[in-house]
């Protein structure tokens, strides 16, 4: 009886399959049934439930923007901007020696080329941890914008150091009619002009990377004006040498002077945890300790917003 019943079920299944096959249109064999049409107001994306591993990976990627290197870089940039203000003030004063301005610029160059640049490089290495191409590209563009700014500043202040050394040697050569100082001035000012050209190229890259991110005041024009000052001093040194000394420029430039700084960072003490953070407040941010929501029917006497 069991075998007979099984045979009857098999025959019935085969009959239903034959009816379905006849009902199907020709040429549709082996094709999947079309998905039902969706409304314009319904979502066509299938929501995939994320497991704990994916949630942890997303949390790690999200915290990449909060790496310690980023606030450290901004802190070093703030100190560099403060040092730049002291340099501008020193340049405006007529009694400040070239040597002091050069020492301040050496410190400024080190801030950009070493301190800030190290933190930026750490951020660039962390950029490939992005979850997709768009996020990766966005982080790369933002970090390239910051790196090009740091490179431009480092080259600019190195050029200023060389300019200060060359200007000091040129003043001595004119005052004392010293051919050695004139040769030193030509060597330093020539290298300063070269570094200015490199800084201008870095400024072009900085402006190009800044366009898709934010608006900036272009540093190209101020760098061009600074380069004109260097070129004017170099032309004066060459004119003096061609008219009086007829000596080749020095084969080597002087080493960078010792750095000096007029700013210091004030340490910020940890304020500690506020007493307002009670255990109940901490629990409010812990999803495991929140009570389950209670859903109930709204009261019939409850007023809702009117629909016009």
Q: Tell me the mean pLDDT in the region 102-121.
A: 89
Q: Tell me the mean pLDDT in the region 68-90.
A: 87
- For a pLDDT cut of 70, what percent of the chain falls above it? 69
Rg (CA), the chain: 36
The predicted model scores a pTM of 0.65
- Judged by average pLDDT, the poorest of 33-42, 69-78, 139-148, 294-303 is 33-42
Split at pLDDT 50, 70, 90, the class of 51 is: low
User: Over 50: is that where the pLDDT of 269 sits?
Assistant: yes
pLDDT for 178 equals 94
User: Over 90: is that where the pLDDT of 19 sits?
Assistant: no
| Mean pLDDT value across the chain | 78
- Judged by average pLDDT, the poorest of 74-78, 111-115, 133-137, 151-155 is 133-137
Neighbours of 222 (CB within 10 A): 12
Q: Tell me the mean pLDDT in the region 208-224.
A: 86
Measuring CA to CA, which residue among 189, 193, 173, 192 is closest to residue 181?
Answer: 173
Split at pLDDT 50, 70, 90, the class of 204 is: very high
Query: What letters, b where the CB count within 10 A reaches 16 and e where it falls short, cover 282-305?
Result: eeeeeeeeeeeeeeeeeeeeeeee
pLDDT for 62 equals 44
pLDDT for 22 equals 47
pLDDT for 26 equals 54
User: Over 80: is that where the pLDDT of 140 sits?
Assistant: no
Measuring CA to CA, which residue among 85, 26, 83 is closest to residue 263?
Answer: 83
Q: Which residue has the higher pLDDT, 238 or 19?
A: 238
Q: Which residue has the higher pLDDT, 16 or 231?
A: 231
d(CA 44, CA 253): 69
Split at pLDDT 50, 70, 90, the class of 42 is: very low
d(CA 124, CA 142): 10
φ, ψ for residue 37, nearest 5 deg: -65, 145
Split at pLDDT 50, 70, 90, the class of 257 is: very high
User: Over 60: is that where the pLDDT of 18 sits?
Assistant: no
pLDDT for 37 equals 52
pLDDT for 109 equals 94
Q: H-type helices in 35-92, by residue range?
A: 52-62, 69-92
User: Over 90: is that where the pLDDT of 184 sits?
Assistant: yes
pLDDT for 95 equals 86
């Amino acid at each position: 009886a069991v075998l007979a019943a099984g045979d009857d079920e098999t025959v019935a299944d085969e009959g239903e399959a034959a009816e379905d096959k006849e009902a199907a249109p020709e040429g549709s064999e082996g094709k999947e049934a079309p998905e039902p049409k969706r409304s314009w107001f319904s979502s066509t994306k299938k929501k995939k439930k994320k497991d704990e591993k994916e949630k942890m990976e997303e949390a790690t990627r999200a915290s990449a923007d909060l790496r310690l290197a980023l606030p450290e870089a901004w802190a070093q940039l703030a100190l560099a901007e403060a040092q730049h203000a002291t340099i501008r003030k020193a340049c405006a004063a007529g009694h400040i020696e070239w040597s002091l301005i050069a020492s301040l610029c050496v410190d400024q160059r080190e801030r950009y080329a070493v301190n800030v640049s190290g933190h930026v490089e750490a951020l660039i290495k962390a950029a490939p941890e992005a979850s997709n191409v768009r996020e990766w590209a966005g982080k790369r563009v933002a970090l390239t914008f910051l790196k090009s700014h740091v490179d431009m500043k480092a080259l600019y202040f190195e050029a200023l150091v060389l300019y200060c050394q060359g200007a000091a040697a040129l003043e001595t050569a004119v005052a004392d009619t010293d051919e050695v100082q004139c040769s030193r001035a030509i060597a330093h000012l020539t290298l300063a002009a070269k570094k200015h050209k490199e800084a201008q190229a870095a400024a072009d890259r900085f402006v190009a990377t800044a366009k898709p991110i934010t608006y900036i005041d272009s540093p190209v024009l101020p760098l061009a004006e600074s380069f004109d000052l260097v070129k004017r001093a170099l032309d004066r040194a060459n004119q003096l040498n061609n008219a009086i000394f007829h000596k080749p420029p020095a084969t080597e430039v002087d080493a960078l002077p010792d750095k000096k700084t007029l700013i210091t960072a004030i340490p910020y003490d940890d304020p500690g945890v506020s007493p307002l953070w009670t255990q109940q407040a901490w629990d409010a941010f812990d999803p495991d300790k929140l009570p389950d929501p209670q859903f109930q029917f709204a009261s019939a006497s409850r007023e809702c917003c009117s629909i016009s």
